[in-house]
Amino acid sequence: MHEFTIAQGIVDFLRETYSAKGYRITSFKIALGELSMFDKNIIIDLVRELIKGTELEGAKFTVSIEEAAVKCESCNQIHTFKELTKSLSNDEKEMIHFIPELIPSFARCPTCGSRDLKILTGRGVMVTDIAVQKA
Instruction: Report H helices in 18-131.
Output: 40-50, 81-85, 90-98, 103-106
Say what the pLDDT of residue 98 is.
83
Q: How confident is the model at residue 1 (pLDDT cuts 50, 70, 90)?
A: low
| Mean pLDDT, residues 75-92 | 94
Quick: pLDDT tens for 38-54.
Answer: 999 999 999 999 999 99
Residue 115 has pLDDT above 90, yes or no: yes
CA dihedral 62, 43, 88, 68 (to 10 degrees): 40
Say what the pLDDT of residue 19 is.
84
Please say whether the beta carbons of 70 and 81 come within 8 A: yes
Quick: pLDDT tens for 13-27.
Answer: 999 999 888 899 999
Q: Which residues contact 91 (CB under 8 A, 6 or more apart)?
A: none
- DSSP designation for 66: E
pTM, two decimals, is 0.84
| Mean pLDDT, residues 62-67 | 97
Q: What does the domain layout of the chain look like in residue ranges?
A: 2-66+122-134, 69-121
Is it true that domain 2-66+122-134 has CATH number 3.30.70.380? no
